[in-house]
Structure 1
Amino acid sequence: MTTVKKIDFDSPIIPGQGIGEIRLLENAFSLRPLILSNTCSGQKIDWTFTTEKQFPDWLTLNYKDILFVGVNVYTGKIISLTVRLGYKGKIFQQISIGSYVKDLFKLDNDFYYDEGDDYILHKTNFDIRFDIDLKNRISFTDKEVEESRITEITILNHEQSSTIIGATEFPKEWTK
C-alpha cells in the first residue's frame, strides 16, 4: 500500500485509475497521514466526513469542497473520486471543471445526458459521470445541455461501490 503525501489540484483525472496519488481501489488507510496532517490548519478544518442515508455503506471524505473521496466502509477501499470547482486537472487531457458539455460530446459521442440520473454518462463505461449546471431545472432542450458547463467530474469503480454481506458472512471478530 502506498501512502498519499499530497493532493495536487492539477493532476490528470484518469478513469479506472485515480487522481494524482489517490488511486481507486486503494485502501483508504493510505490517506491517513495526509488527513491527520491536514485536518486542522489554523482555524480552518480542511477535511470533513459524511455518510448519506441512501448509501449507508459509503463514507465520503471531503477535502475543501473540491475533492470528495468515496470509501466503502466494509472493504476500506476507495471506490469513487469526485472533483468540483477549484480542481484544475483534466480528464481525457481536454475536459475540466467549467468545460462545455458540447466539447465532451465532440470528444466521444458515446456520452449522453441521462434525465433519470440527471448526469452526463457514457454508454459503455459506467465508471465516469459528469454533473452539469442545469440542476434543479424541470426541463431543458438538448441545446441547453450542450451549452451547459461541467460542474463535477466523478470516476468510480461501480463494481466495488456496494458490498452486500449475508448474515452468515460477517467476519468472526464481528460476532464475538
Structure 2
Amino acid sequence: MKARNNIETITGIKEFDLDADIIPEVGAGGISFKNTLKDFESVITANLFENHNTKIKHEVDSKYIFITLSSQKKEFKTEIDLLTGKIVSMSCSKGYSGKIFKEFGVGDKMSDFIKANPNIGFDLDHDAYVNHPFDGLMIYPPIQLRDKIINAVVQGKAVPDFIIDSYEIIDMEFARKNFEGTLFY
C-alpha cells in the first residue's frame, strides 16, 4: 500500500520511473491516474520554450485532442486528454522493467500470465486480453497473431502463445465513458 500512496501524491514530475510496478486502476511509470496535465507543466514548458533536453518527450495529437508524454526511448507512454487534463492511458513496452502483479513484465509469455491469472481472457470487441471484471488492463497480441487468436477463441481451440511486448492500463472513468457496453465491470 505504501507504493500506491507515494505515486498518488506526486506533482512536478520530471521523469518516469521505468522500474515502477504496473498497477491496474492505479498507475505505472511512477505516476497515477490521479495525476493531471498540470503535473507535467514544467517539462512541457522546458521542451517548448527553453529548448531543454528533458527526460520526458511530448507529442500533441490534434485529431483526438490528446497529448502523449513518453520516456526518451518510449518504454513508457501516457496519454492525457487536453480537454479535461486527465490521464486516460499508460503503456509500458520494451525497456520497461516494472512488473504487474509483482511477477510479470514485458518479455514474459502470455501463457504463463494466463496460468497465474485465471481472470484474464481475450476480449473479441477490443482484440486484447483483459481481466474480468475489467480493471483497465489491456494486453494486445502481436498483429500477425490477432486473426489466429480471434479464430481460436471463437472456435474454442487452443490459442497461440506469444511474448508480451507491452501492457496498457486505461483509466476506469475513461473506459466507462468510451467503452460502455463492451467491457465487463
TM-score of the pair, normalised by structure 2? 0.71
> Which residue number in structure 2 is paired with residue 73 of structure 1?
82
Given that 2:131 and 2:137 are in contact with CA atoms closer than 8 Å, whether structure 1 keeps it comes out as yes
Instruction: Give the counterpart of 1:25 among 13, 24, 34.
Output: 34
Q: Deviations over 1:26-45 (max 9, x none)?
A: 11221233445577539xx9
Unmatched tracts of structure 2, length 5 or more: 1-9, 179-185
Residues 62 and 2 (structure 1 numbering): CA distance in 2 closer, same or farther, change over 3 Å? closer
The answer to whether 1:152 aligns with 2:161 is: no
Instruction: Give the counterpart of 2:66 among 58, 62, 77.
Output: 58
Root-mean-square deviation over aligned CA pairs: 2.9
> Which residue number in structure 1 is paired with residue 58 of structure 2?
48
Provide the rounded CA distance (Å) in 2 between the counterparts of 1:34 and 1:57.
19
Residues 127 and 162 (structure 1 numbering): CA distance in 2 closer, same or farther, change over 3 Å? closer
Provide the rounded CA distance (Å) in 2 between the counterparts of 1:40 and 1:144.
47
The answer to whether 1:6 aligns with 2:15 is: yes
Residues 102 and 162 (structure 1 numbering): CA distance in 2 closer, same or farther, change over 3 Å? closer
> Which residue number in structure 2 is paired with residue 95 of structure 1?
104
Provide the rounded CA distance (Å) in 1 between the counterparts of 2:38 and 2:176.
19
Aligned length: 158
Report % sequence identity: 22
Provide the rounded CA distance (Å) in 2 between the counterparts of 1:117 and 1:66.
23
- The one-letter amino acid of 2:19's match is D
Structure 2 matches for 1:125-144, cutoff 5 A?
125-133=134-142, 135-137=143-145, 138-140=147-149, 141=152, 143-144=158-159
- The one-letter amino acid of 1:151's match is D
Given that 1:27 and 1:76 are in contact with CA atoms closer than 8 Å, whether structure 2 keeps it comes out as yes
Given that 1:57 and 1:73 are in contact with CA atoms closer than 8 Å, whether structure 2 keeps it comes out as yes
Given that 1:121 and 1:128 are in contact with CA atoms closer than 8 Å, whether structure 2 keeps it comes out as yes
Given that 2:27 and 2:33 are in contact with CA atoms closer than 8 Å, whether structure 1 keeps it comes out as yes
TM-score of the pair, normalised by structure 1? 0.74
- The one-letter amino acid of 1:103's match is D
- The one-letter amino acid of 1:114's match is D
Shift of 1:101: 0.7
Q: Deviations over 1:112-163 (max 9, x none)?
A: 1223322111120241111223x13432445453x21111111121323687
Residue aligned with 1:13, SS: coil
- The one-letter amino acid of 2:144's match is N
Given that 1:57 and 1:163 are in contact with CA atoms closer than 8 Å, whether structure 2 keeps it comes out as no
Deviates more, 1:89-98 or 1:58-67: 58-67
Whichever structure has more strand as a proportion of its residues is 1
